[in-house]
Amino acid sequence: MNFLVTGGAGFIGSHVCERLLRDGHDVTVFDDLNPFYAPALKRRNLADIKATAAAAGRHFHFFEGDLADRATLDRALQEVGCDQVIHLAARAGVRPSLLEPALYQRVNVEGTVNVLEAARATGCRKFVLASSSSVYGVNAKVPFAETDPIFSAISPYAASKLACEALGHVYHHVYGLEVTMLRFFTVYGPRQRPDLAIHKFASLITAGRPIPVFGDGSTRRDYTYVDDIVDGVMAATTCDFGYEVFNLGESQTVRLDELIELLEHSLGIRAVIDRLPQQPGDVPVTFADISKARAKLGYNPQTKIAVGIPKFVEWFRASGG
């Protein structure tokens, strides 16, 4: 089967591509290699994907382009063919979206329309789209279930993902495209973006520099190891639902101060804490109810945080941080 993976040079995308190739599929990556973080890291990911393709005896193609560039998207799908799209490309992060809300809407919302249109025009039968736990906003009910109201976004990033989910529903309802929405909960592991907390904290702790902690350390996140997320993505590509939304998380929360302790223990270095005020757009807790994903996708996360953090640190040290 031929897969188009947008954002395939990134953190989650590169892992998805390698799994697809090892499972016997052909992969086309569409990515703009933007400088949100170092493009060299994405090129290193692409080199790893290419090596995996060679070892698996599968075809791998890379198209560099912006999601706003519909012509390049169409060319990518027409030249290599496409049975399914896994749409992971997006401008990510709550705090950066507060500074550039228009950019987030252009890339995430308009870009998603372009990918949906390109898929529709070239006859792709199935579309898997990465959403986010951010769509739940400040949700008083925990754990978060797919049936909870999601009309209280508190960041431009969250609003953009809400719009993407709505667009996915439209393209299923009007055009008959099979669309599966996956709400990711705080993904970490090897190749994690350097701006994300676990990678950023590990770098700062190793360098002996203070780590910024917004609030009193009591915020809780549902940290999910990347291999478990990839399992959920792969399951979504093999099941047909019409239109469905699934949470993909660990379904276990960890306090920020507990996370720091786990990093300190794995690194063997004490952290220097820089206490800062709580940030706008941050939510106090994310917590996934994954009962629907368990029942319909067979999703069953395996890596607890106490195991995942040492695995991340092992990669962090081997890769030179």
C-alpha span between 307 and 101 (Å, rounded): 36
Integer CA distances (angstroms), 28 to 83, 110, 124, in order? 11, 21, 13
Q: Which of 36, 116, 106 is nearest to 73 (CA)?
A: 116
Catalytic residue among 37, 104, 136, 157: 157
Q: Is 299 a catalytic residue?
A: no
Tokens linked to 309: 């953090």
As annotated, the active-site residues are 157
